Amino acid sequence: MTVASNPVTETPDPLAPAQLGPVTLRNRVLKTATFEGYAPDALVTQDLIDFHLAVGNGGVGMTTVAYLAVAPEGRTERRQIWWRPEALPGLRQLTDAVHATGAKVSAQIGHAGPVSDSHSTKLKSIAASRCYTMTSMGTGLDRPATADDIDRIIAAHAQAATWAVESGFDAVEVHLGHNYLASSFLSPRLNHRRDEFGGSIACRAEFPRRLLAAVRSAVGDRAAVLAKLNMEDGARRGLHPDESLAAARLFEADGNLDALELTGGSSLLNPMFLFKGDVPLAEFAKTQLPVVGVGLRVFGRGLFKHYPYAPLYFLDLARAFRAELHLPLVLIGGVTDHDGMTTAMAEGFEFVGMARALLMEPDLINRIAADRATRARCTHCNRCVPTIYSGTRCPLLDELEPVA
């Protein structure tokens, strides 16, 4: 495992091979996790394989399969893959296909917690503490995780990590962000517990720390272990950078991570904090149950706030983490060209993550390698985001002229 990065004397080439824990990547560009929406029976399909083949053939160092839930109630909705024996053959088929492109492949694992849609899963959602959320609308409050739940979910993360390695994944990414279950424990707004998992940030970080320890114990040095961590929830009384950095220091000291991916925003409280750019409110409303869709049209501007897009929009927040941590870090948010990649490297980040730009142009990395002046065509309209319910894609592709 990697607990500290080596001193950097010159800016690394983002398109040159790099080491991520025990894994050698052909470059420092990761396709970050975006729920693909291509598993209608919660099992791998050819469409899901093709989704990752496209970015693998397109030149990324590693692609990330999202979102692989550790338990059936941990899915955000019923068409999401959850770890069980019948899912493993399809996952092996997927990893073999991606490896044939020269890319590596990571499994994002986690538990959706209060982000789970109980209408869809038909299972009660759980959170750090009892809370009423949009996803629990009509089914009552999310129930607080019990001690038995916590033990069960920690064990489920370890089992998922074991199955991931056995299925050919090169890395496991533990989801600690976006107010999913582990993130709800970190959030002072969502965690009102009075036991060992509530109160100070050290106590609120205890559950995520146990998850990471269980995953590392399960995989050893057979795979890289990453975590996706909110730097900030972007919500009043939510997790703020000072507490997130304190949690990150604890994760680093534990020595269970090979890299930390820095993100932000809350799927419950402020989703656009993650995306920046345009707010496709009408498209979001069409994907919901009628009553929720009406609510979004009426009140959606309060939930879906507008944040202007800017290149490298998480860089300012991430600098404090880079200054304090030795752990390799993945910078995401507005990385769309070679200039952005080299800026991230010059600032001391070991890897960069891309998502929306690769939905429009899966071959973007190959094109940048051929011509480093290449600029992504993504307009940051965010119309891709609501497509997760019907197969994640760029809706603009049919409207644009093909690239010669």
CB atoms closer than 10 angstroms to residue 98 = 26
Q: If we measure between CA atoms, which residue out of 177, 182, 383, 178 comes closest to residue 268? A: 178
DSSP 189: T
Measured over the CA atoms of residue 73, residue 79, residue 85 and residue 90, the dihedral's sign is negative
Is residue 180 part of the annotated active site? The answer reads yes
Rounded to an integer, what is the distance from CA 270 to the centroid of its chain?
Answer: 16
Phi-psi region for residue 199, left (φ > 0), alpha (ψ -120 to 50) or beta? left
* Residue from 38, 67, 180, 313 carrying the catalytic annotation: 180
- The strand pairing partners of 18, in sequence order, are 25
Residue 396 burial (CB < 10 Å; 0-12/13-18/19+)?
Answer: middle
Rounded to an integer, what is the distance from CA 243 to the centroid of its chain?
Answer: 20
Q: State which amino acid sits at residue 146.
A: T
Both structure tokens of 150:
């916590």
Both structure tokens of 40:
């209608």
CA distance 375 to 85: 43
Give the catalytic positions in this structure.
180
